[in-house]
Structure 1
Amino acid sequence: MAILHAYLNFNGNCEEAFEFYQSVFNTPSLGVYRFKDMPADPNCPLPPEAADKVMHTAIKINDSVMLMGSDCIESFGHKATAGTTTYLMLDTQTAEEAKDLYNKLTVAAQNIEMPLGEQFWAELYSSFQDKYGISWMIHFEGNKKMQ
């Protein structure tokens, strides 16, 4: 069975975002590859301003969930476009965990669609875009199990 991980793309601030996510989830980086670490290719020259950008990084949120990311380099034909077609959903084990993650991830949030609160399907639920434009849902089902 495959394991699903989330991969996030950024337009130059991946390193800053992952430092933030490391503090939210209290977990270290698994490492960083930068574009300058790639072997040189004369058919695809690396722009000097892209050298220190993040080609790949990752953190483990728990034993089975990883958050990975990279910067997009426009000259390579890739640009991150923010939208609401994809969300990262954090299904928490306790109300306290939901509140803690919400309080950390919504610092300087770009948009709070639904503040953390009770819904008919969950004791606590929220959806928002964090300060980097990444869309999140926080969910604590509690005593509102699906029938």
Structure 2
Amino acid sequence: MQIIPYLQLNGNAREAIGFYEKVFHAEVLAVTTFGEMPVTADFSFPEDAKDFISHAAIRVGESVMMFSDTFPGQPAHEGNLVTICVTFDNADKARQIFGALQDGGQVEMPLSETGFSPAYGVIKDKFGVTFQIYTE
């Protein structure tokens, strides 16, 4: 079994993919737009949504993150029910990633030594996605 975070964004999935690719030195595995999806007589997409992402995946280390923009006409809602915990065995690497996520983001708990980690912090990035940065 594998658990994969799937981020649904409100028209800025392509920007998020580029951002996370840079932050995590990720590999883009796939990007499909709504315009590349099959169209039938019964089902089509609005012209202004054809460049939005219908599905994408990136490899971050040994993990995968998936993305899409919301279906045309359905807004995305920012929430706090899902966070992504990124674990490191190196506090310097944790600090580097935490710093990169601050670009346009908001620190919710500064990266610092805790009773359970030499470097732990929580940050909401510029897309409203909350990351827990944890060092073992």
Q: Do they fold alike, i.e. is TM over 0.5?
A: yes
Aligned residues: 136
1:118 equivalent among 96, 113, 117: 113
> Are 1:69 and 2:67 matched, yes or no?
yes
> In 1, Cα distance between the equivalents of 2:75 and 2:64?
22
Identity %: 30
Alignment of 1:39-54 (within 5 A): 39-54=38-53
> Are 1:85 and 2:84 matched, yes or no?
no
- TM-score norm. by structure 1 comes to 0.87
1:132 equivalent among 107, 127, 131: 127
> In 1, Cα distance between the equivalents of 2:40 and 2:114?
53
> What SS class does the counterpart of residue 119 from structure 2 fall into?
strand
- TM-score norm. by structure 2 comes to 0.94
Deviations 1:3-28 (A, max 9, x none): 11111110000001100100011123
2:104 equivalent among 101, 104, 108: 108
> What SS class does the counterpart of residue 8 from structure 2 fall into?
strand
Deviations 1:125-147 (A, max 9, x none): 11121011111000013xxxxxx
Q: Is the deviation greater in 42-51 or in 126-135?
A: 42-51
* Higher radius of gyration, 1 or 2: 1
Contact 2:27 / 2:60 at 8 angstroms: preserved in 1? no
Deviations 1:62-112 (A, max 9, x none): 23x10110000243xx33211111100001111011101101111110x31
CA RMSD across the alignment: 1.2
Q: Which consecutive aligned stretches of 4+ in structure 1 deviate over 2 angstroms post-superposition?
A: 41-45
Give the unaligned 5+ runs of structure 2: none
> In 2, Cα distance between the equivalents of 1:91 and 1:26?
15
CA positional deviation for 1:31 = 2.0
Give the unaligned 5+ runs of structure 1: 142-147
